[in-house]
Amino acid sequence: MEGKQNPTLLIVDDSPLSVALLEKMLRKEGYAVITARDGPQARKLAFEAKPDLIILDIMMPGEDGFKVIGHLKKNARTASIPVIFLTGRDDLNAKVAGFDLGAVDYITKPFHGPEVLARVRLHLKLSLATNSLIASQASKLKQLKEAQTSMLTEPDDLPRAHFSVYYSSLLEAGGDFYDVFPISDEMFGYFVVDVSGHNIATSYITAAVKALLKQNCTPIYGPTESMRMINDVLVEILPEGMYLTACYAKLNRRKKLLSIVNAGHPPVVYLPKDGEARLIEQVGDVLGIFNEVYYEQHDIRVSPGDRFLIYSDGLIEKPPLKKVWCECLPELLKACFHVRDIPIRSLAPELARLMRDERYQVNDDVVVVGVEV
């Protein structure tokens, strides 16, 4: 109703007399009214006009009111429109069935004018209040998402890091995130994190970890030392039961040396320019739970044109098939073969596209960072 001067009401009834009486009564009160005489016409008008409220007769030939509301509630465009049923005075079962299907109220026939107007006003006010609350919450969550996104480094922000990224959050703000940062003129850090849980609270960890990376990922610390210091702080600040998996890759472009530390995260994929893609399997404890942790550093002598990929488990897991990420690694290596020669800026988005299964709804955050030496 926002921006509308007159709320629009849709009246659905196969009785011309009922339609005429309701239409006259509601128009006198300043409402815009559209009418339908059967179910298919009602659904068409509801989808096209998206009225603010629907008054729907239960007993209609062909497609009755129950079937109509069932269709309306299954369509995203019409599901939130409040529906008031028109029903017989003593038809208790019909009233209950209507509520079960999502109706907000009912009006008995023969209807009484003041009652109709009172119920219409009430549910228009409730709908307006609900929509305003949703809009307010959405606005706040959008600000949170924008704040989190603003902390994520884009390839254009740091072109000398030669990377591409794909980032998709399940909620308005994600629990998975990444960072790419310069350590020195020819040295860069690439960090991907997966925070346990799927709620908005996990997104607040982004700023904390980003600050820890800046403080601890410097030329004087090796990747293993950096990961340990980050863990020591997270143990102190994370709520009980929350932890992070992470992968940190430090690339010294001058020395052509790639150093990787893994903290319970899926393995890095290394794609040498003239060789087969392979997984860098490593041992490492998750972040934020244990004071005493072990991290294994893997060093690789790289050449110009070599690539590597860091990603979150949301890229490869397939919960509908009951397949965890470790079972899907062969499929990931196969997809990497198809993207190994495309421009680096397209690598991460294209890999995410290849790994996506359109048959299933994504139920986790997805981060992919692709890097070229």
Query: What does the pLDDT look like over 25-42, one tens digit per residue?
Result: 999 999 999 999 999 999
The model's pLDDT over 80-123, given as tens digits with 9 standing for 90+, comes to 899 999 987 667 788 888 888 889 999 888 888 899 999 999 99
CA 64, distance to chain mean position in Å, is 36
Query: Could you tell me the two tokens for 272?
Result: 């040498």
Q: What is the C-alpha to C-alpha distance for residues 341 and 345, in angstroms, rounded to an integer?
A: 11
Domains of the chain: 8-143 (3.40.50.2300), 151-372 (3.60.40.10)
Confidence check: pLDDT of 167 > 70 = yes
User: Cα-flanking dihedrals φ and ψ of residue 167, to 5°?
Assistant: -135, 125
Residue 125 has pLDDT above 60, yes or no: yes
Amino acid identity of residue 87, one-letter, is: T
Compute the mean pLDDT over every residue in the chain, rounded to the nearest whole number.
85
Cα–Cα dist 193/234, whole Å: 13
Q: What is the 3-state secondary structure (H, E, C) of 76-107?
A: CCCCCCCEEEEEECCCHHHHHHHHHHCCCEEE
Using alpha carbons, select from 201, 205, 202 the residue that is nearest to residue 230: 205
Taking the whole predicted model, whether its pTM rises above 0.85 is answered as no
Write the DSSP symbol of residue 264.
B
pLDDT digits (tens, 9 = 90+) for 303-357: 999 999 999 988 887 665 566 667 778 888 888 888 888 999 999 999 988 888 6
How many other C-beta atoms lie within 10 A of the C-beta of residue 303? 11
Strand 176-184 relative to strand 8-12, pairing: unpaired
Residue of 232 and 133 predicted with greater confidence: 232
- List 179's β-bridge partners, or say none: 191
pLDDT at 338: 86
The predicted model gives 192-220 an average pLDDT of 76
How far apart, in Å, do the first and last CA atoms of the chain sit? 55
What are 343-370's pLDDT values in tens digits?
Answer: 999 999 999 888 886 656 556 688 999 9
Say which residue the tokens 């294209």 belong to.
350
Q: How confident is the model at residue 141 (pLDDT cuts 50, 70, 90)?
A: very low
Helix (H, G, I), strand (E, B) or coil at 335: helix
- pLDDT above 90 covers a percentage of the chain that reads 50
pLDDT in tens, 240-273: 878 899 999 999 999 999 999 999 999 999 999 9
Q: What is the pLDDT of residues 38-77, one digit of tens each?
A: 999 999 999 999 999 999 999 898 899 999 999 999 888 8
